[in-house]
């Protein structure tokens, strides 16, 4: 849900990437475009084991990191 909210704030969800996370089949279809856009912009990278873990809630630290990257993306555009 966090990726969807972040990408909606940017007003964009189009991407040319494909999901490459090991658990990509677990990512709900409604969230895939937003996650792809966030990955393409460098806002989200997933976990070190190449998973996304869509069933977990984002921690405060993860949310803070995404928001700080979002700020950089907004100023670059």
pLDDT computed for residue 12 by the predictor:
65
- Residue 15: the pLDDT is 67
Report whether 26 contacts 47 (CB < 8 A): no
pLDDT of 4 reads: 76
Q: Confidence class of residue 54 from pLDDT cuts 50, 70 and 90?
A: very high
How far is residue 76's CA from residue 44's CA, in Å, rounded to a whole number?
17
For residue 14, pLDDT over 90 is answered with no
How many structural domains is the chain composed of? 1
What's the pLDDT band for 69 if we cut at 50, 70, 90?
A: confident
Mean pLDDT of the region 53-75? 85
Residue ranges making up the domain that contains 22: 2-76
């Amino acid at each position: 849900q966090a990726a969807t909210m972040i990408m909606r704030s940017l007003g964009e969800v189009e991407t040319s990437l494909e999901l490459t996370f090991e658990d990509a089949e677990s990512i709900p279809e409604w969230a895939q475009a937003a996650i792809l856009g966030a990955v393409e912009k460098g806002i989200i990278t997933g976990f070190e084991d190449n998973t996304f873990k869509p069933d977990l809630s984002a921690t405060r630290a993860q949310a803070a990191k995404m928001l700080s990257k979002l700020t950089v993306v907004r100023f670059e555009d």
